[in-house]
C-alpha cells in the first residue's frame, strides 16, 4: 500500500510540530511520499515564513538591505534544526537565495523557498530522499500546469524511490524559472504526486479534524463530516467552505484516489474521507452547509415569457457582453431571476438594464441587493422526503424571509437566498433542524 501525505504550514511551524509529523509518518510504513508546506504560524501573532519571504523580496526590489530580514528567516529554520538535533547547515542555501533576490529572480522564486527549505529539513529528519519540485512539476509559459509532462516526470522520478520528500506549492517553466500555484497550492502538489505514483490514499494533514458540517465561526463546535463525495465537496467549496485547495480535487478524482483530511495535533481522529462515491450512509440527512454574502438579484418579468423562443439566451447574452457571469438562474412562467456577484455587477448595472430592455422588451425589471446564498448539500437528501419543507420550516421559525430557492435536478443541493443580515441566523436554523436535533 502506498500513501502520499501532505502537511500544512501549521503542522511544520516548529521542531515540536516536526516531531509530531515524523511520528505520524513512521506509524504506518505505507506513508512513503511526503509533501511539506513552508513553516506557518507558531502562535497567533507570528508571521508565516512565506509572508516574510515576500517582504524580503519586495525590499530587495526596492534596493533595501535584506540581510536583517533574511537572517530572521534563517533563524526560524535554525531553531527547527536545533530542536530536532540535526547536523544540517543551510548557510549555502541562504547565500544562493540572497544572490537570486539581488538578481531579480521573481516573487514566485522567493515564495517557493519556504517549501524548498522545509523539504530539505524534513527529508534529513526522516532519512528520506529529497526531490526538488522544480525538477518534476512543470508549468506552461502562460502559468497553467503542464499536466502531461508533470505526470510523466513525477512518475519517472518516484518509481525508483521508495521514500521521498517533494516540497509543495511550486514547480518550474521549461527554462527553469520557478512558478508557484496560488496560496494553498501544496494541496495540489500532493494530489499530483498521488496520481503519478498511483497511490492508494492521499492524506492531507492540517490543523483541523476534517471538514465541518458548518462554519465554526457561526456554529459553535460543529460536527465533523465523516465522508463526503467529490460532488458534494465541489458544491460546498464553491460556496466558501475551506480546508482543501479546490484544484487539488481533480488529479486524484480522475484516478479514483480517496483523500483523507486529518489533524496533525489529533492523529487518533479519523477526519473526513473524500471519495468518488460511497455506500456509506451519511450520519445526517445533510452533509454540509456553506454560504457567501455579496450577491444581487435581477428579476425580469414579461407576460408570456415562456412562449418566447430564445428569451433566456437573449437576457444572458447581455450579461456576457458586459463581462459578467451569473451564479444562479431560478425562473417562473413569466419571471426570470439572474443572481450575480454584486461587486462585479454594480459598476455595469445601468448598461445591463438598458441591454435587457433592448434585447427582450420586458414589462418590469427589479433588482435586489445585499443577498446571501446558502448551499445545503447532501447525498442523503435524495432519499429523504420533506427536506426542502424542513428548510423552510426552520427559516420561518427563525423569522428569516426566503428571497430565492434553487434546487438542482440531482437533488444533491438546495440553494437558499436570504438577506445578508439574516445569513448567520439562517445557517444556525438549518444546522439546528438537521444536525442538533438529530444528536
Reading the chain (439 residues) residue by residue, the pLDDT tens digits are 999 999 999 999 999 999 999 999 999 999 999 999 999 999 999 999 999 999 999 999 999 999 999 999 999 999 999 999 999 999 999 999 999 999 999 999 999 999 999 999 999 999 999 999 999 999 999 999 999 999 999 999 999 999 999 999 999 999 999 999 987 789 999 999 999 999 999 999 999 899 999 999 999 999 999 999 988 888 887 777 666 776 788 899 889 999 999 999 999 999 999 999 888 888 899 999 999 999 999 999 999 998 899 999 999 999 999 999 999 898 888 999 999 999 999 999 999 999 999 999 999 999 999 999 999 999 888 878 888 999 999 999 999 999 988 887 667 889 999 999 999 999 999 999 999 998 8
Name which of 123, 154, 94 is nearest 21 in CA terms. 123
In angstroms, rounded to a whole number, what is the distance separating the alpha carbons of residues 91 and 82?
Answer: 14
Question: What does the domain layout of the chain look like in residue ranges?
Answer: 3-207, 288-438
**pLDDT value, residue 47:** 96
Topology of 3-207 in CATH? Carbamate kinase (3.40.1160)
CB atoms closer than 10 angstroms to residue 90: 15
What's residue 406's pLDDT?
84
**What is the C-alpha end-to-end distance of the chain, expressed in Å?**
36
The angle at the Cα of 215, spanning 290 to 439, to the nearest 5 degrees, equals 95
Q: At what angle do helices 107-126 and 67-84 cross, to 10 degrees?
A: 20
- Cα separation of 399 and 393, whole Å? 10
Give the residue from 185, 109, 195, 124 showing the smallest Cα distance to 158: 195
Q: Which one, of 377, 375, 368, lies nearest residue 423 by Cα?
A: 375
By C-alpha distance, which of 206, 339, 192 is closest to 257?
192
Judged on CB neighbours under 10 Å (0-12, 13-18, 19+), 86 is middle
Q: Which long-range contacts link 258-261 to residues 24+ away (Cβ below 8 Å)?
A: 258/201, 258/202, 259/191, 259/201, 259/202, 259/203, 259/204, 260/201, 260/202, 260/203, 260/204, 261/204, 261/206, 261/208, 261/209, 261/210, 261/211
CATH number belonging to domain 288-438: 3.30.2130.10
Return the pLDDT at 21: 98
Is-same-fold flag (3-207; 288-438)?
A: no
The whole-number pLDDT of residue 305 equals 92
Amino acid at each position: 500500500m502506498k500513501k502520499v501525505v501532505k502537511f500544512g504550514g501549521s503542522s511544520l511551524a516548529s521542531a515540536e510540530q516536526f516531531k509530531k509529523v515524523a511520528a505520524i509518518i513512521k506509524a504506518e510504513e505505507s506513508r512513503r511520499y511526503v509533501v511539506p508546506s513552508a513553516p506557518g504560524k507558531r502562535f497567533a501573532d507570528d508571521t508565516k515564513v512565506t509572508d516574510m519571504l515576500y517582504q524580503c523580496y519586495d525590499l530587495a526590489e526596492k534596493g533595501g538591505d535584506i540581510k536583517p530580514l533574511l537572517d530572521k528567516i534563517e533563524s526560524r529554520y535554525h531553531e527547527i534544526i536545533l530542536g530536532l538535533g540535526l547536523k544540517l547547515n543551510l548557510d549555502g542555501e541562504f547565500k544562493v537565495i540572497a544572490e537570486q533576490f539581488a538578481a531579480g529572480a521573481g516573487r514566485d522564486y522567493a515564495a517557493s523557498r519556504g517549501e524548498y527549505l522545509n523539504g530539505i529539513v524534513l527529508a534529513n529528519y526522516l532519512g528520506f530522499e529529497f526531490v526538488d519540485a522544480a525538477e518534476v512539476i512543470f508549468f506552461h509559459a502562460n502559468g497553467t500546469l503542464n499536466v502531461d509532462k508533470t505526470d510523466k516526470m513525477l512518475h519517472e522520478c518516484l518509481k525508483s524511490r521508495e521514500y521521498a520528500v517533494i516540497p509543495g506549492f511550486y514547480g518550474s517553466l521549461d527554462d527553469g524559472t520557478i512558478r508557484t500555484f496560488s496560496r494553498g497550492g501544496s494541496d495540489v502538489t500532493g494530489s499530483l504526486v498521488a496520481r503519478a505514483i498511483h497511490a492508494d490514499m492521499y492524506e492531507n494533514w492540517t490543523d483541523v479534524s476534517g471538514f465541518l458540517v458548518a462554519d465554526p465561526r457561526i456554529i459553535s463546535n460543529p460536527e465533523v463530516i465523516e465522508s463526503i463525495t467529490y460532488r458534494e465537496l465541489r458544491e460546498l467549496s464553491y460556496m466558501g467552505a475551506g480546508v482543501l485547495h479546490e484544484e487539488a480535487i481533480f488529479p486524484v478524482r480522475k484516478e479514483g484516489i480517496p483523500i483523507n483530511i486529518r489533524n496533525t495535533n489529533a492523529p487518533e481522529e479519523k477526519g473526513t474521507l473524500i471519495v468518488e462515491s460511497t455506500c456509506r450512509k451519511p450520519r445526517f440527512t445533510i452533509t454540509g452547509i456553506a454560504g457567501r454574502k455579496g450577491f444581487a438579484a435581477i428579476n425580469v418579468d414579461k407576460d408570456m415569457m415562456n412562449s418566447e423562443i430564445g428569451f433566456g439566451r437573449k437576457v444572458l447574452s447581455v450579461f456576457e457582453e458586459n463581462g459578467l457571469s451569473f451564479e444562479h438562474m431560478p425562473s417562473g412562467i413569466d419571471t426570470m431571476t439572474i443572481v450575480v456577484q454584486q461587486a462585479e455587477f454594480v459598476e455595469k448595472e445601468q448598461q445591463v438594464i438598458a441591454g435587457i430592455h433592448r434585447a427582450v422588451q420586458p414589462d418590469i425589471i427589479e433588482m435586489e441587493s445585499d443577498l446571501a446564498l446558502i448551499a445545503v448539500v447532501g447525498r442523503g437528501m435524495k432519499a429523504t422526503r420533506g427536506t426542502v419543507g424542513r428548510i423552510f420550516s426552520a427559516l420561518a421559525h427563525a423569522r428569516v424571509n426566503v428571497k430565492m430557492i434553487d434546487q438542482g435536478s440531482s437533488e444533491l443541493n438546495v440553494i437558499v437566498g436570504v438577506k445578508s443580515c439574516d445569513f448567520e441566523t439562517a445557517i444556525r436554523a438549518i444546522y439546528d433542524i438537521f444536525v442538533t436535533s438529530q444528536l
